[in-house]
């Protein structure tokens, strides 16, 4: 992934390595910095939107022992003589490896971040789930003290496929409510003259109006919106359509545009303008992701221009009109507010 990104990098964006408690204990950050020249690491406070940790079933006792020897939490304990005996007799339950709950605190994380920066790490990020407002504030304060570059707050629905659908779609704090809490926390922290890292909201965003409304609702305190699952869907759909074009099995709704990748993928000229004719050889899935994000960018600029806002950082809550009682209460800041 790093090599592919660097090959086409034009100075925008970054591949960021996510790091949970297990990764940190296993020394993954040091390996990534020294061996792969990773420039950005994101420390995860829990499984982001879900506010919980994963458990994975293991194949057999040998796999369980390997995980246990690496320092992972495995249940039942594969080194317990009773468990070994039960396994040999064929009456042992399944083995599961569990991820630890977040262990990050100020005493550990600030020196750890300094240590990694001394190794050459350029950027540090946090990713936080919809926990108690007191914990949301604690993470912002910690990020401020550690001078992290950005904190991403991940709401429900969020996630990209590791968790069950019900967990991704319905567990956790809805993104708009979490953003309201974050905005109120930041307003109070600014009264203390506390420096605030860049704040990103993610969780369920899929279209340009979502992005516009979230940036406007952020009132200048939220400067970026994360899109994950929708971009992945664009990649998978475009890959499938590309295969159908190659096989000559073009769906009727696409035939109106043509019969080739160049005719059907309308954003390909914009991609060629950036990467030259090499873009003609890009996989259909990659072209689809570019097309999708191009749509988001165009639509966002369009909405902003309609509101006579010609810089994204000028968006604020005056750009929003509530259409429901709940939206009205959120705009006033009185729902889950001050």
pLDDT in tens, 40-63: 999 988 664 555 667 889 999 999
pLDDT at 104: 78
Residue 71 pLDDT = 87
Instruction: Give the CB-side neighbour count of residue 235, counting CA atoms within 13 A.
Output: 9
- The mean pLDDT value for 95-104 works out to 82
Taking a C-beta distance cutoff of 8 angstroms, is the pair 48, 26 a contact? no
Quote the CA–CA distance of 287 and 289 in Å, as a whole number.
6
Q: Is the pLDDT reported for residue 167 higher than 90?
A: no
250-280 pLDDT tens trace: 989 999 999 999 999 999 999 999 999 999 9
The pLDDT of residue 338 is 41
Residue linked to tokens 């010609």: 310
Average pLDDT over residues 145-164: 83
Nearest to 158 by CA among 203, 200, 201: 203
Label residues 187-204 b or e (16+ Cβ within 10 Å = b): eebeeeeeeebebbbbbb
Q: Contact 315/221 with Cβ under 8 angstroms?
A: no
CA Rg value for the chain: 23
pTM of the model: 0.88
Domains of the chain: 2-53+102-204 (3.20.20), 55-98 (no CATH), 231-306 (no CATH)
Query: DSSP class of residue 70?
Result: T
Question: Rounded to an integer, what is the distance from CA 280 to the centroid of its chain?
Answer: 29
Contacts (Cβ under 8 Å, ≥6 apart) of 47: 53, 54, 99, 129, 159, 162, 163
DSSP sequence for 173-229: -BHHHHHHHHHHHHHHHHHTT----EEEEESS--SHHHHHHHHHHTTTSEEEEE--H
Bridge partners (DSSP) listed for residue 44 = 127
Contact criterion met (CB below 8 Å) for 140 and 198: no
* Res. 166: pLDDT tops 80: no
């Amino acid at each position: 992934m790093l090599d592919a990104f660097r090959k086409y990098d034009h100075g925008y964006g970054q591949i960021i390595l996510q790091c949970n408690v297990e990764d940190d204990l296993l020394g993954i950050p040091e390996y990534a910095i020294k061996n792969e020249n990773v420039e950005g690491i994101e420390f995860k406070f829990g499984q982001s939107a879900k506010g919980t940790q994963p458990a994975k079933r293991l194949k057999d006792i040998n796999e369980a022992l390997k995980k246990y020897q690496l320092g992972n939490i495995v249940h039942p304990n594969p080194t317990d003589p009773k468990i070994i005996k039960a396994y040999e007799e064929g009456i042992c339950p399944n083995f599961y490896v569990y991820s630890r709950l977040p262990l990050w605190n100020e005493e550990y994380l600030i020196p750890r971040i300094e240590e990694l920066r001394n190794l050459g790490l350029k950027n540090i990020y946090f990713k936080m789930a919809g926990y108690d407002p007191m914990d949301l504030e604690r993470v912002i304060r910690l990020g401020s003290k550690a001078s992290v570059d950005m904190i991403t707050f991940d709401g429900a629905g969020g996630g990209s496929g590791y968790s069950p659908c019900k967990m991704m779609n319905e567990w956790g704090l809805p993104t708009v409510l979490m953003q309201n809490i974050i905005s109120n926390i930041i307003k109070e922290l600014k009264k203390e003259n506390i420096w605030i890292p860049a704040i990103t909201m993610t969780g369920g965003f899929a279209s340009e109006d979502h992005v516009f409304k979230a940036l406007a609702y952020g009132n200048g305190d939220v400067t970026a919106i994360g899109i994950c699952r929708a971009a992945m869907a664009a990649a998978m759909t475009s890959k499938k359509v590309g295969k159908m074009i190659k096989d000559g099995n073009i769906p009727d709704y696409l035939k109106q545009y043509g019969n080739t990748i160049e005719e059907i993928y309308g954003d390909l000229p914009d991609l060629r303008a950036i990467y030259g004719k090499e873009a003609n050889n890009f996989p259909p899935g990659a072209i689809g992701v570019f097309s999708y994000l191009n749509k988001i960018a165009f639509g966002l600029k369009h909405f902003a221009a309609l509101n006579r806002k010609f810089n994204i950082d000028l968006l604020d809550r005056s750009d929003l009109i509530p259409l429901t009682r709940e939206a009205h209460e959120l705009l006033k800041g009185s729902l889950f507010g001050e």
